[in-house]
Amino acid sequence: MNRASSPEFSFSRDPRIGRTIVAAEELQSRVAQLGKEITVDYAEHPPLFIAVLKGAFMFLSDLAKHVDLPIEFDFMAVSSYGAATRSSGVVRIVKDLEIDLTGRHVLIVEDIIDSGLTLQFLRKNLLARGPASVEVCALLVKEGLQKVDPQFRYVGFSIPPEFVVGYGLDAAERYRNLPYVAEYRPDAG
Protein backbone atom coordinates (compact mmCIF):
# COMPACT_ATOMS: atom_id res chain seq x y z
CA MET A 1 0.00 0.00 0.00
CA ASN A 2 1.25 3.48 -0.83
CA ARG A 3 1.92 5.40 2.37
CA ALA A 4 0.14 8.47 0.98
CA SER A 5 -3.08 6.46 0.82
CA SER A 6 -2.68 4.68 4.14
CA PRO A 7 -4.90 5.80 7.04
CA GLU A 8 -1.92 6.77 9.21
CA PHE A 9 -0.39 9.09 6.58
CA SER A 10 -0.49 12.79 7.40
CA PHE A 11 0.99 15.75 5.56
CA SER A 12 2.02 17.12 8.95
CA ARG A 13 4.36 14.15 9.38
CA ASP A 14 5.87 14.32 5.88
CA PRO A 15 9.40 15.73 6.30
CA ARG A 16 9.35 17.20 2.79
CA ILE A 17 6.50 19.55 3.71
CA GLY A 18 8.03 22.60 5.33
CA ARG A 19 6.54 25.71 6.80
CA THR A 20 3.16 26.98 5.66
CA ILE A 21 3.50 29.83 3.17
CA VAL A 22 -0.23 30.54 2.72
CA ALA A 23 -2.80 28.97 5.05
CA ALA A 24 -5.99 27.39 3.72
CA GLU A 25 -8.19 30.09 5.28
CA GLU A 26 -6.09 32.87 3.72
CA LEU A 27 -6.33 31.18 0.32
CA GLN A 28 -10.09 30.92 0.46
CA SER A 29 -10.54 34.50 1.66
CA ARG A 30 -8.29 35.99 -1.03
CA VAL A 31 -9.79 33.84 -3.80
CA ALA A 32 -13.26 35.11 -2.82
CA GLN A 33 -11.97 38.72 -3.00
CA LEU A 34 -10.46 38.10 -6.44
CA GLY A 35 -13.75 36.65 -7.66
CA LYS A 36 -15.62 39.76 -6.53
CA GLU A 37 -13.08 42.04 -8.24
CA ILE A 38 -13.37 40.08 -11.49
CA THR A 39 -17.17 40.23 -11.30
CA VAL A 40 -17.06 44.03 -11.10
CA ASP A 41 -14.29 44.53 -13.68
CA TYR A 42 -15.83 42.23 -16.30
CA ALA A 43 -19.51 43.03 -15.70
CA GLU A 44 -19.98 44.24 -19.28
CA HIS A 45 -17.83 41.58 -20.96
CA PRO A 46 -17.76 38.23 -19.15
CA PRO A 47 -14.34 36.70 -19.73
CA LEU A 48 -13.16 33.39 -21.04
CA PHE A 49 -11.06 31.86 -18.27
CA ILE A 50 -8.05 29.98 -19.56
CA ALA A 51 -6.60 27.83 -16.83
CA VAL A 52 -3.02 26.71 -17.09
CA LEU A 53 -2.95 23.03 -16.19
CA LYS A 54 -2.35 21.21 -14.07
CA GLY A 55 -1.49 23.55 -11.23
CA ALA A 56 -4.30 26.08 -11.64
CA PHE A 57 -7.21 23.63 -11.50
CA MET A 58 -7.98 24.08 -7.79
CA PHE A 59 -7.58 27.85 -7.98
CA LEU A 60 -9.84 28.03 -11.04
CA SER A 61 -12.50 25.88 -9.40
CA ASP A 62 -12.64 28.00 -6.25
CA LEU A 63 -12.30 31.30 -8.12
CA ALA A 64 -15.17 30.52 -10.51
CA LYS A 65 -17.52 29.97 -7.56
CA HIS A 66 -17.03 33.62 -6.58
CA VAL A 67 -17.50 35.15 -10.04
CA ASP A 68 -21.12 36.17 -10.52
CA LEU A 69 -21.02 36.23 -14.34
CA PRO A 70 -21.71 33.71 -17.13
CA ILE A 71 -18.05 32.79 -17.69
CA GLU A 72 -16.63 30.12 -19.96
CA PHE A 73 -13.58 27.94 -19.45
CA ASP A 74 -10.86 26.42 -21.56
CA PHE A 75 -7.65 24.74 -20.57
CA MET A 76 -4.10 24.87 -21.75
CA ALA A 77 -1.12 22.90 -20.53
CA VAL A 78 2.38 24.22 -20.93
CA SER A 79 5.55 22.77 -19.50
CA SER A 80 8.89 24.19 -18.50
CA TYR A 81 9.57 22.01 -15.45
CA GLY A 82 9.04 18.33 -16.18
CA ALA A 83 9.75 16.54 -12.88
CA ALA A 84 12.35 19.12 -11.77
CA THR A 85 11.99 21.80 -9.11
CA ARG A 86 13.55 24.47 -11.36
CA SER A 87 12.31 25.65 -14.74
CA SER A 88 14.25 24.43 -17.75
CA GLY A 89 13.56 27.72 -19.53
CA VAL A 90 12.15 25.83 -22.54
CA VAL A 91 8.38 26.21 -22.83
CA ARG A 92 6.26 23.79 -24.81
CA ILE A 93 2.50 23.49 -25.29
CA VAL A 94 1.28 20.12 -24.05
CA LYS A 95 -2.47 20.78 -24.51
CA ASP A 96 -3.85 23.59 -26.64
CA LEU A 97 -7.17 25.44 -26.46
CA GLU A 98 -10.39 24.26 -28.05
CA ILE A 99 -12.18 27.66 -28.13
CA ASP A 100 -11.55 30.39 -30.71
CA LEU A 101 -10.26 33.54 -28.98
CA THR A 102 -11.16 36.03 -31.69
CA GLY A 103 -12.76 39.10 -30.10
CA ARG A 104 -12.94 37.47 -26.66
CA HIS A 105 -11.88 38.95 -23.35
CA VAL A 106 -9.43 36.39 -21.97
CA LEU A 107 -8.33 35.98 -18.37
CA ILE A 108 -5.38 33.63 -17.90
CA VAL A 109 -5.75 31.85 -14.55
CA GLU A 110 -2.27 30.86 -13.42
CA ASP A 111 -1.20 29.09 -10.24
CA ILE A 112 2.29 30.55 -9.78
CA ILE A 113 4.66 32.92 -11.53
CA ASP A 114 8.38 32.26 -11.14
CA SER A 115 10.58 33.85 -13.81
CA GLY A 116 7.58 34.98 -15.87
CA LEU A 117 9.03 33.43 -19.04
CA THR A 118 6.27 30.82 -19.37
CA LEU A 119 3.64 33.52 -18.95
CA GLN A 120 5.40 35.75 -21.49
CA PHE A 121 5.35 32.86 -23.99
CA LEU A 122 1.70 32.14 -23.24
CA ARG A 123 0.61 35.77 -23.56
CA LYS A 124 2.38 36.16 -26.91
CA ASN A 125 0.81 32.94 -28.16
CA LEU A 126 -2.70 33.97 -27.10
CA LEU A 127 -2.43 37.55 -28.40
CA ALA A 128 -1.63 36.15 -31.84
CA ARG A 129 -5.11 34.57 -31.83
CA GLY A 130 -6.98 37.89 -31.96
CA PRO A 131 -8.63 38.30 -28.55
CA ALA A 132 -10.14 41.63 -27.48
CA SER A 133 -7.96 41.54 -24.36
CA VAL A 134 -5.66 39.23 -22.41
CA GLU A 135 -5.19 39.72 -18.66
CA VAL A 136 -3.66 37.57 -15.94
CA CYS A 137 -4.94 36.37 -12.59
CA ALA A 138 -2.06 34.74 -10.72
CA LEU A 139 -2.59 33.09 -7.36
CA LEU A 140 1.09 33.30 -6.36
CA VAL A 141 3.98 35.44 -7.56
CA LYS A 142 7.46 34.63 -6.33
CA GLU A 143 9.20 37.79 -5.17
CA GLY A 144 12.18 38.99 -7.18
CA LEU A 145 12.39 36.18 -9.75
CA GLN A 146 10.72 37.76 -12.78
CA LYS A 147 13.12 38.11 -15.71
CA VAL A 148 10.59 40.17 -17.66
CA ASP A 149 8.39 43.05 -16.55
CA PRO A 150 5.31 41.27 -15.24
CA GLN A 151 1.87 42.69 -15.90
CA PHE A 152 -0.75 41.05 -13.74
CA ARG A 153 -4.24 42.41 -13.36
CA TYR A 154 -4.90 40.26 -10.31
CA VAL A 155 -2.48 38.73 -7.81
CA GLY A 156 -3.43 36.59 -4.85
CA PHE A 157 -0.17 36.59 -2.90
CA SER A 158 3.49 37.52 -3.26
CA ILE A 159 5.58 34.77 -1.73
CA PRO A 160 9.28 34.15 -1.03
CA PRO A 161 11.28 32.60 -3.89
CA GLU A 162 11.02 29.04 -2.58
CA PHE A 163 9.68 25.90 -4.24
CA VAL A 164 6.16 25.37 -2.91
CA VAL A 165 3.49 22.69 -3.11
CA GLY A 166 -0.19 22.43 -2.30
CA TYR A 167 -3.47 23.85 -3.58
CA GLY A 168 -2.79 22.43 -7.04
CA LEU A 169 0.98 22.92 -7.02
CA ASP A 170 3.05 19.77 -7.15
CA ALA A 171 6.45 18.18 -6.81
CA ALA A 172 6.66 15.40 -9.42
CA GLU A 173 2.81 15.19 -9.46
CA ARG A 174 2.51 14.84 -5.68
CA TYR A 175 1.06 17.13 -2.99
CA ARG A 176 -1.51 18.89 -5.23
CA ASN A 177 -4.23 17.97 -2.72
CA LEU A 178 -2.58 19.75 0.21
CA PRO A 179 -5.22 22.34 1.22
CA TYR A 180 -2.65 25.09 1.83
CA VAL A 181 0.61 26.23 0.21
CA ALA A 182 3.79 25.02 1.90
CA GLU A 183 7.52 25.07 1.37
CA TYR A 184 8.80 21.88 -0.27
CA ARG A 185 12.06 20.38 1.02
CA PRO A 186 13.07 17.58 -1.40
CA ASP A 187 16.13 16.53 0.58
CA ALA A 188 14.25 16.12 3.86
CA GLY A 189 12.66 12.81 2.96
- Mind telling me the catalytic residues? 114
The CA-based angle 82-154-128, given to 5 degrees, is 65
- Tell me the DSSP string of 15-55: TTEEEEEE-HHHHHHHHHHHHHHHHHHTTTSPPEEEEEETT
Collect all residues with Cβ–Cβ distance below 8 Å to 128 and sequence separation of at least 6: none
Nearest alpha-carbon partner for 21 in 161, 173, 118 = 161
Burial (Cβ within 10 Å: 0-12, 13-18, ≥19) of residue 61 = middle
